């Protein structure tokens, strides 16, 4: 598969896997195999734009070939080495779309475990598949020096992004009330005076709202910001949720429940907020703060007894 393209994210994961202390060269003792991450289409890391700068190895799109090769390699190795009962192959898929397999059969194949960005409840098998987080960005380094305690928070709720990406964003924008500390802003030139980092780190709560697809690229930044994340994305499985449930560090509402959001936030007491902030920052520092933390969490979950 030397002709296959690979993004910088995939190359970083591949090198991490090669040097991982749990890696074995004795296939008979392996619990699982991980295919080379040709499907890790993370086009926005480490630079959000332009995406073509994030290609490590130019070549052919090998998404479908990777699936074919995974099945072929399993059959070949199982015939030659009698693999462990329950052996499975992990496919790391950072494409947020679900359109590659028209019949979606591969998402239910017991041979595979999917570690996927934008994991959807429709396809998620809780004890086999992993919902992957968006990669950590350089913004997280700035957040460390800007961390604010509860008494220093200037805003109740903030969001700054492209509001026309989904109708629920436009609905939430109607809650904008600067005098009440609720700032829901479009990322247009007219709002250039509002700094994204300042808004997020100085807010008690920050929105994580679906856009063109269910997941939000800002999820990791929101969890690590010192605000409590508010998730509005029906059908999206929060990243690493079998390890740390989203309810431990954030609040979630259905998209149709947006009108009740302010009342919900006002009902959160100080101690409940502090507990959620503490849990969010612990989750960030242990599992999200760098792509290598994310890789290690993925591997740990794959090797744990939670995967069946």
User: What pLDDT shows up at residue 306?
Assistant: 59
pLDDT tens for residues 87-142?
899 999 999 988 655 567 889 999 999 999 999 999 999 989 999 999 999 888 88
225/211 Cα distance (integer angstroms): 20
Tell me what the mean pLDDT of segment 163-169 comes to: 96
pLDDT at position 163 over 90: yes
Q: What is the dihedral of CA 255, 256, 259, 262, to 10 degrees?
A: -40
> CA distances (Å), 165 to each of 89, 113, 141, 186, 187, in order?
35, 31, 28, 11, 12
- pLDDT digit string, tens, across residues 212-247: 999 999 999 999 999 999 999 999 999 999 999 999
Predicted confidence at residue 308, as pLDDT, reads: 58
Q: Is the pLDDT of residue 22 over 70?
A: yes
State the Cα torsion 132-133-136-140 to the nearest 10°. -150
Give the pair of three-digit tokens for residue 134. 């968006």
> What global pTM score does this model have?
0.94
Query: pLDDT at position 77, please?
Result: 84
Residue 20 pLDDT exceeds 70: yes
pLDDT band at 188 (very low <50, low <70, confident <90, very high): confident
């Amino acid at each position: 598969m030397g002709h296959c393209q690979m993004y910088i994210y995939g190359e970083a994961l591949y090198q991490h896997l090669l040097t991982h202390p749990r890696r074995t060269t004795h296939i008979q003792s392996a619990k699982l195999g991980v295919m080379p991450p040709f499907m890790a289409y993370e086009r926005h890391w480490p630079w959000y734009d332009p995406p073509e700068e994030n290609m490590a190895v130019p070549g052919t799109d090998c998404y479908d070939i990777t699936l074919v090769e995974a099945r072929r390699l399993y059959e070949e190795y199982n015939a030659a080495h009698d693999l462990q009962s329950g052996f499975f192959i992990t496919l790391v898929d950072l494409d947020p779309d679900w359109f590659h397999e028209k019949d979606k059969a591969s998402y239910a194949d017991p041979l595979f475990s999917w570690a996927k960005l934008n994991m959807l409840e429709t396809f998620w098998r809780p004890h086999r598949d992993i919902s992957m987080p968006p990669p950590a960005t350089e913004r997280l380094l700035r957040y460390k020096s800007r961390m604010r305690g509860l008494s220093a928070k200037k805003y109740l709720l903030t969001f700054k992004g492209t509001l026309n990406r989904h109708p629920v964003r436009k609905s939430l924008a109607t809650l904008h009330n600067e005098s009440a500390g609720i700032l829901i802003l479009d990322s247009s030139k007219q709002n250039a005076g509002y700094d994204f980092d300042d808004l997020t780190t100085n807010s008690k709560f920050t929105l994580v709202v679906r856009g063109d697809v269910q997941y939000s690229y800002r999820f990791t930044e929101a969890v690590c910001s010192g605000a409590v994340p508010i998730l509005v994305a029906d059908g999206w499985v929060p990243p690493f949720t079998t390890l740390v449930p989203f309810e431990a560090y954030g609040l979630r509402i259905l998209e149709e429940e947006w009108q009740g959001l302010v009342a919900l936030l006002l009902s959160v007491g100080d101690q409940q907020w502090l507990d959620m902030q503490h849990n969010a920052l612990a989750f960030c520092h242990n599992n999200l703060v760098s792509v290598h933390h994310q890789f290690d969490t993925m591997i740990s979950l794959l090797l744990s007894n939670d995967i069946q």
